[in-house]
Amino acid sequence: MRVVIQENYEKMCKWAADYIAAKINAHSEDRPFVLGLPTGSSPIGVYRELVKKNQAGELSFANVVTFNMDEYLGLPHEHDQSYWYFMHDNLFDHLTDMKPENINILNGMTDDPEAECAAYEAKIASYGGIDLFMGGIGVDGHLAFNEPFTSLSSRTGLRALTTDTRIVNSRFFGNDPEKVPAYALSVGIGTVTDSKEVLVLINGHNKARALAATVQGGVSQQWTCSALQLHNAAIIACDEAACGELTVDAYKYFLDIEKEERL
């Protein structure tokens, strides 16, 4: 697993956006580039950079199909905390050439979550899988909404959110955990690790424990992000602040092996 440590959040986002843009630009036009996308505060700077590149004419989304990681159950599109709203507000509405029909987000208002999730998996498969899945993680290491002890081979499905996650995410819901939906639809860990490449953003002091568990702990369903250790093309882009719980030797190793990448 590659761990690319950048000095700060801005540099981490620039690095990740450059990486994604290079992959999209290098992709053959015969078939669409299939990009998995996360929500949360971590990717906001990456989306800002991707929008800049797109508006400057350096990056086209005309041949890009996106699949989002997750969506709260019971929030309509127009709810300002739905992930549908977030994605349009932070990315899609600002792109010059994104085709609305190429945007895929789980429908949190479905009355048949099982069918919704099965159709999502089938649609991903119909494109031949995901080329690059960008992700973020929660402080408890959840990848998408795969909370601790979710199976590492899980597929897209309904997930119950832990009290901890509802408390953490309550900052977007007037600081009231009760207002955070109790359930979400989410791709599975297996859905993410089936992607050809995975790029996970981990930034800030509050993610230091999760980064250490992802990289230096064993593969464990307690830290669902640790499944990335078994992927042959997984990259973690992180900032210095998130490195506080890595051992010094691991930290030095990543800086050394990735020194060309520290732009």
Q: Is 144 in the site for ligand GLP (CB under 6 A)?
A: yes
Looking at beta carbons only, is 32 or 66 nearer to ligand GLP? 66
Q: Is 40 in the site for ligand GLP (CB under 6 A)?
A: yes
Among 82, 150, 169, 214, binds ligand GLP (CB under 6 A): 169
Among 19, 20, 42, 84, binds ligand GLP (CB under 6 A): 42
Tokens of 262: 């520290």
Q: Is 70 in the site for ligand GLP (CB under 6 A)?
A: yes
- Which part of the chain contacts ligand GLP (CB under 6 A), choosing from 33-41, 58-66, 122-130, 225-233? 33-41
Contact 235, 199 (CB under 8 A): yes
Q: Is 157 in the site for ligand GLP (CB under 6 A)?
A: no
Cα four-point dihedral sign 166, 170, 172, 173? positive
Give the span between the Cα atoms of 56 and 100, in whole angstroms: 20
For residue 231, with 0-12 CB atoms within 10 Å meaning exposed, 13-18 middle and 19 or more buried, which class applies? middle
Among 33, 145, 223, 254, binds ligand GLP (CB under 6 A): 145
Among 36, 38, 45, 108, binds ligand GLP (CB under 6 A): 38
Q: 216 to each of 14, 63, 189, 209, 228, how far by Cα in Å?
A: 25, 37, 19, 10, 11
Q: How far is the CB of 4 from ligand GLP (least distance, A)?
A: 17
Q: How far is the CB of 184 from ligand GLP (least distance, A)?
A: 7
Give the span between the Cα atoms of 131 and 133, in whole angstroms: 7
Q: Please, what's the b/e burial string for 73-98 (b: 16 or more CB within 10 A of its CB; e: otherwise)?
A: bebeeebebbbbbbbbebbbebbeeb
Looking at beta carbons only, is 39 or 195 nearer to ligand GLP? 39
Q: 18 to each of 52, 59, 112, 146, 257, how far by Cα in Å?
A: 11, 10, 38, 27, 19
- Which part of the chain contacts ligand GLP (CB under 6 A), choosing from 73-81, 134-142, 231-239, 253-261? 134-142
- Which part of the chain contacts ligand GLP (CB under 6 A), choosing from 34-42, 47-55, 118-126, 214-222? 34-42
Q: Is 108 in the site for ligand GLP (CB under 6 A)?
A: no
Question: What amino acid positions are annotated as catalytic residues?
Answer: 70, 140, 142, 147
- Alpha carbon 8 to chain centroid, angstroms: 19
Binding site for ligand GLP (CB under 6 A): 38-42, 69-70, 136-138, 144-145, 165, 169
